[in-house]
Chain A
């Protein structure tokens, strides 16, 4: 899993904003999505790795919830062609 080539992004006030330069679609991410995105950008390519990162960042949240949220986020990004 990695960030799709036409997607350009930057961090503004701790939140990631991304643009699909092919479609012009623009995405503003919340804090958790920004955290995940930055892990992806840093080279974390597996779902398991991302889940472990989430567990470290949000130790008070149970794993099932984190896993479901992660799945939902990754599916959304795949649907939008932000990641491949």
Chain B
């Protein structure tokens, strides 16, 4: 099931934002219309596996019809996961309105907690109070972030889900966003390991966003993380994104490479199979020459880092979008 990008507008301006190529000001402000949303919903109902729909942005709570969208999905038996910074003006009210409803969960992108303003902190804390155990935290650790234990404090204080999703800030294929320099991977890996060690003492474990290369960690760190119940596993793009205009993309960092309108596919499975086929030849590029023989290379464990990052600097990149796929489709 896909990520629905309800709007490309955001109240934050995170320099590392991997949606930057789709966002204002790179593109004009767009909000998913009722017609597009309902069309997508009908289309998604053709998919056999009813899994959660991820509501994303930009900042999804800034969509003027967010509450209606969320309730419509729930009425049609789609669980929802809202990916929000919880710092928008609307977020606390919406969190309270949806609080306690079954099939609703929230993932808060914590951003850079050391840089929160008082207003942001107030909104985030009010939202988290409403969300409680239905909320979890995702954390893109910056090399200069000095408040890495803040997620643990929030989890304890607001009784959130005790899993933190860790991201390494990666470049989009256009490289317009801030991303880690090669020498910063080790710095972030050390911070993530420290967070896992402290987290394990408090019953909190780490999971990993896509594109985190296993080799960013030393063998000692990998062992420590395993012992802490936070073993490194980083797959690649299990869900397609749908833009406010209804365009399907493989993932936000690759938004400028290949896209098709959802209505060009019979169902989500076909679309997913098509994108997998389009990008399959390029999966062999890892982030290092050693990737070809690396024992960590595995679809669910490590893909040699981020596909978009690995395509940067590739010559003769002629993405073949004339590919046809036939059923039966593998469920990803």
Contact = CB atoms under 8 A, between A and B. Distances in A.
Interface of A: 3, 5-13, 15, 17, 19-21, 24, 26, 28, 41
Interface in B69-84: none
B115 interface: no
Interface residues of B, number: 17
B313 interface: yes
B284 A24 contact: yes
A19 B284 contact: yes
Contacts of A9: 314-316
* Chain A to chain B: the 8 pairs with minimum beta-carbon distance, closest first: A21-B281, A26-B284, A10-B314, A12-B289, A13-B289, A8-B316, A10-B313, A19-B284
B11 interface: no
Q: Which of A8, A9, A17, A41 has the most CB of B within 10 A?
A: A8
Given A13-B288, A13-B289, A21 B315 contact: no
B316 A28 contact: no
Contacts of A7: 316
A5 B292 contact: no
Given A12-B289, A13-B289, A28-B292, A19 B318 contact: no
Interface in B17-40: none
Contacts of B330: none
Nearest to B312: A10
B220 interface: no
B281 A8 contact: yes
Contacts of A8: 281-282, 314-318
B314 A21 contact: no
B284 A12 contact: no
Nearest to B311: A10
B109 to A, nearest CB: 31
25 contacts: A7-B316, A8-B281, A8-B316, A8-B317, A8-B318, A9-B314, A9-B316, A10-B314, A10-B315, A12-B286, A12-B288, A13-B288, A13-B289, A15-B289, A17-B285, A17-B289, A17-B292, A19-B285, A21-B282, A21-B318, A24-B280, A24-B281, A24-B284, A26-B292, A28-B292
B316 A5 contact: yes
Query: What DSSP secondary structure best describes chain A's contact surface?
Result: strand
Interface string B275-299: 0000011101111110010000000
B281 A19 contact: yes
Nearest to A14: B289
B117 interface: no
A12 B182 CA distance: 13
B114 interface: no
Nearest to A9: B315
A5 B282 CA distance: 15
A9 B311 CA distance: 9
A5 B319 CA distance: 11
A19 B314 CA distance: 10
Contacts of A10: 285, 313-315
A19 B292 contact: no
A56 B288 CA distance: 29
Contacts of A24: 280-281, 284
Contact of B313 (A3, A11, A13, A20): A11
B287 to A, nearest CB: 8
Q: Which of B280, B287, B289, B318 has the most CB of A within 10 A?
A: B289
Interface in B311-332: 313-318, 320
A75 to B, nearest CB: 21
Contacts of B285: 10, 12, 17, 19
Contacts of B318: 5-6, 8, 21
